[in-house]
Chains A and B, each alone.
Chain A
Amino acid sequence: MDQQTTQVLLIEDNPGDADLVRLRLVEGKFPVNVNCVNRLSDGLAFLRAETPSVILLDLNLPDSRGAETFRRVMEQSPNVPVVVLSGQDDEALAMKAVHQGVQDYLLKGDISSKHLERAIRYAVERQGLLRALEISQKQQLEFKNQFLSHVSHELRTPLTCIHQYVTLLLDGLAGPIAPDQSDHLKTVLKSVNQLHAMIRDLLEATRAESGKMRIERRCIALGDLVRQAVAMLKPTADEKKIGLEIGLDQRLPLVHADPDRVLEVLINLLDNAIKFTPAEGAIVVQACMVEADHGFVYLSVTDTGRGIGPEAKALIFDRLYQDANSVDNNRSGLGLGLFICREIIRLHEGRIWVSSEPGQGSTFTFTLPVYSLAKLLAPVITKEGRLRPDFVLVRVELTSLTNPPRGNWKEIWRQALEILRRCVFLDKDLVLPPTGTSGAAETFFVVASTDLQQSGVMTARIREQLERMPDLRPKCGFTIMAAPIELSPAGADESLEQQVQNVADSVSQMIVSNMERKQSSHRREN
Chain B
Amino acid sequence: MPKPKILVVDDDPDLVRALRLRLRANNYEVATASDGYAAIATAQKERPALIILDLGLPVGDGFVVLERLQSSDSLAGVPVIVLSARDPQSNEERALKAGAAAFFQKPADNEELLNVIRASLGPGQAQQAPWPA
Where the two chains meet, the residues of A that have a C-beta atom closer than 8 Å to any C-beta of B are 149, 153-154, 156-157, 159-161, 163-165, 167-168, 171, 173-174, 192, 196, 203, 207, 212, 214, 401-404, 406-408, 410-411, 473-475, 477-480
Contact = CB atoms under 8 A, between A and B. Distances in A.
A403 B87 CA distance: 23
Interface in B89-119: 89, 93, 96-97, 99-102, 105-108, 110, 112, 115-116, 119
Nearest to A397: B132
A157 B106 contact: yes
A164 B132 contact: no
B42 interface: no
A156 to B, nearest CB: 4
24 contacts: A156-B105, A156-B107, A157-B12, A157-B15, A159-B107, A160-B15, A160-B85, A160-B106, A165-B14, A167-B22, A168-B22, A171-B25, A173-B22, A173-B25, A192-B107, A196-B107, A203-B87, A212-B89, A214-B89, A406-B102, A406-B119, A410-B93, A475-B126, A477-B129
Contacts of B112: 404
Interface in B61-77: none
Contact of B21 (A160, A174, A477): A174
A477 B132 CA distance: 7
A192 B132 CA distance: 46
Contacts of B85: 153-154, 156-157, 160
B86 interface: yes
Contacts of B93: 408, 410
Nearest to A440: B119
Contacts of A159: 106-107
A408 B96 CA distance: 5
A401 B125 contact: yes
Interface residues of B, number: 37
A406 B101 contact: yes
Contact of A164 (B19, B97, B105, B119): B19
B130 interface: yes
B2 interface: no
B129 A164 contact: no
A163 B21 contact: no
A192 to B, nearest CB: 8
B96 A477 contact: no
A165 B14 CA distance: 9
Contacts of A161: 12, 14-15, 18
B101 A474 contact: no
A164 B100 contact: no
A365 B45 CA distance: 59
A408 B119 contact: no
B120 interface: yes
Contacts of A149: 87
Contacts of B102: 404, 406-407
A411 B96 contact: yes
A404 B115 contact: yes
Given A160-B107, A473-B129, A153 B86 contact: yes
Nearest to A403: B119
Instruction: Select the residue from A160, A161, A407 with max chain B CB neighbours within 10 A.
Output: A160
Contact of A402 (B22, B25, B99, B125): B125
B79 interface: yes
Interface string B1-25: 0000000000010110011011001
Contacts of A403: 119
Q: Which 5 A-B pairs have the closest CB atoms?
A: A164-B18, A156-B85, A160-B106, A160-B107, A163-B107
Contacts of A479: 132
Nearest to B90: A212
Nearest to B81: A406
Contact of A168 (B21, B115, B125): B21
A164 B109 CA distance: 9
Contacts of A477: 129-132
A127 to B, nearest CB: 37
A168 B18 contact: yes
Most buried by A among B86, B99, B102: B102
A212 B89 CA distance: 10
A168 B14 CA distance: 13
B6 to A, nearest CB: 15
Nearest to A407: B101
A402 B120 contact: yes
Given A165-B18, A168-B22, 12 more contacts: A156-B106, A156-B107, A161-B15, A165-B14, A167-B22, A171-B22, A171-B110, A407-B99, A474-B129, A477-B129, A477-B131, A480-B132
Contacts of A154: 85
A407 B97 CA distance: 8
A448 B116 CA distance: 38
Contacts of B89: 207, 212, 214
Residue in B22, B85, B131 with the greatest tally of chain A CB atoms within 10 Å: B85
A408 B80 CA distance: 12
Contacts of A192: 107
A193 B64 CA distance: 32
A316 B112 CA distance: 35
Contacts of B110: 167, 171
